Structure 1
Amino acid sequence: MSHSDQDPIAAIATAAGRGGIGVVRVSSRQPLDGLMRELLGRTLTPRHAHYLPFRDAGGTAIDEGIALSFPAPHSYTGEHVLELQGHGGPVVLRRLLARCLQAGRETGMRLAEPGEFTRRAFLNDRMDLAQAEAVADLIDASSEAAARSAAASLTGAFSNEVHGLADRIVHLRMLVEATLDFPEEEIEFLEKYQARETLAVIQSDLARLLSQARQGAILREGLHVVLAGQPNVGKSSLLNALAGFEAAIVTPIAGTTRDKVVQEIAIDGVPLHIVDTAGLRDTEDTVERIGIERTWAEIGKADVIVHLIDATRPGPELDAAITSKLPPRTPVLEVVNKMDLAEPGQVAQQQAEGTKRLYVSARTGEGLDALKQELLAIAGWNPSFESPYLARERHIQALLVTADHLEIAGEHAAQSDRVLDLFAEELRLAHEALTSITGEFSSDDLLGVIFSRFCIGK
Structure 2
Amino acid sequence: MPQSIENHEPVSCSATLLTPRGRGAVATIRVKGELNSIAAAINACFNAANQKSLAAQPLNRIVYGLWGQTSNEDLVICRLDEYTVDIHCHGGLAAVERILSDLEARGCPRNSWEQLVKSTKTELDFELQDRLTAATTFRTAEILLRQSEGVLKSAFEALLPVADQPFDLDYYQSQIQNLLDWEQFGLHLTSPWCVVLAGRPNVGKSSLINAILGYERSIVFNEAGTTRDVLTATTALEGWPIQFSDTAGIREQADVLESTGIRRAEQMMRSADCNLILIDVSQPEQAHDLRLVSQWPESIIVAHKSDLPQSWKQPLPHAAISVSSITKSGIDTLLEQLMKKLIPAVPEKNTPVPVTPRQIRILQQAAEALKESNQSVYTRLIHQLLS
| Structure-to-structure mapping, 1:68-217, within 5 angstroms | 68-71=78-81, 80-104=83-107, 109-113=108-112, 115-122=114-121, 128-166=122-160, 169-171=161-163, 193=166, 198-217=168-187
| Structure-to-structure mapping, 1:47-446, within 5 angstroms | 47-55=60-68, 59-71=69-81, 80-104=83-107, 109-113=108-112, 115-122=114-121, 128-166=122-160, 169-171=161-163, 193=166, 198-281=168-251, 282-284=253-255, 295=265, 298-299=268-269, 301-319=271-289, 332-343=299-310, 346=312, 349=314, 351=316, 354-355=317-318, 357-379=320-342, 381-383=344-346, 385=348, 388=351, 390=353, 391-409=355-373, 426-438=374-386, 440=387
**Residues 261-270 or 383-392, more deviating:** 383-392
Q: What is the TM-score of this pair, normalised by structure 1?
A: 0.70
Cα distance in 2 for partners of 1:387, 1:266 equals: 23
For residue 50 of structure 2, what is the aligned residue in structure 1? Answer: none
Cα distance in 2 for partners of 1:293, 1:205 equals: 41
CA contact (8 A) 1:226 1:304 kept: yes
CA contact (8 A) 1:228 1:277 kept: yes
3-state SS, counterpart of residue 326 of structure 2: coil
3-state SS, counterpart of residue 307 of structure 1: strand
> 1:89–1:222: structure 2 CA closer, same or farther, 3 Å change rule?
closer
CA RMSD of aligned residues (A): 3.4
Letter matched to residue 401 of structure 1: Q
Cα distance in 2 for partners of 1:362, 1:243 equals: 11
Q: CA deviation at 1:341?
A: 2.1
CA contact (8 A) 2:103 2:109 kept: no
> 1:436–1:334: structure 2 CA closer, same or farther, 3 Å change rule?
farther
The CA deviation string for residues 307-357 of structure 1, in whole angstroms up to 9 with x for no partner, is: 322222335323456679x8x9x96444332233252x61x5152xx4364
Cα distance in 1 for partners of 2:347, 2:134 equals: 25
Cα distance in 2 for partners of 1:387, 1:283 equals: 52
CA contact (8 A) 1:131 1:156 kept: no
1:27 aligns with 2:37: no
Q: CA deviation at 1:284?
A: 4.6
3-state SS, counterpart of residue 221 of structure 1: coil
Cα distance in 2 for partners of 1:3, 1:349 equals: 72
> 1:117–1:428: structure 2 CA closer, same or farther, 3 Å change rule?
same
Cα distance in 1 for partners of 2:279, 2:336 equals: 19
3-state SS, counterpart of residue 15 of structure 1: coil
CA contact (8 A) 1:12 1:24 kept: yes
Unaligned runs of 5+ in 2: 5-9, 48-52
Cα distance in 2 for partners of 1:30, 1:296 equals: 60
CA contact (8 A) 2:248 2:261 kept: yes
CA contact (8 A) 1:331 1:378 kept: no
Cα distance in 1 for partners of 2:196, 2:375 equals: 42
Q: CA deviation at 1:203?
A: 2.4
The structure in which a higher percent of residues are helix is: 1
Question: Aligned residues: percent identity?
Answer: 25
CA contact (8 A) 2:65 2:75 kept: yes
> 1:279–1:9: structure 2 CA closer, same or farther, 3 Å change rule?
farther
Q: Which has the higher contact order (CA 8 A, sep 6+)?
A: 1
CA contact (8 A) 1:218 1:379 kept: no
The CA deviation string for residues 249-304 of structure 1, in whole angstroms up to 9 with x for no partner, is: 43444444454432222333322111123333444596x66755654564465333
Q: CA deviation at 1:158?
A: 1.0
> 1:164–1:243: structure 2 CA closer, same or farther, 3 Å change rule?
same
Letter matched to residue 306 of structure 2: M
Unaligned runs of 5+ in 1: 73-79, 123-127, 176-192, 410-425, 441-458
> 1:219–1:366: structure 2 CA closer, same or farther, 3 Å change rule?
farther
> 1:380–1:435: structure 2 CA closer, same or farther, 3 Å change rule?
farther
3-state SS, counterpart of residue 349 of structure 1: coil
Q: CA deviation at 1:33?
A: 2.2
Cα distance in 1 for partners of 2:347, 2:118 equals: 36
3-state SS, counterpart of residue 145 of structure 2: helix
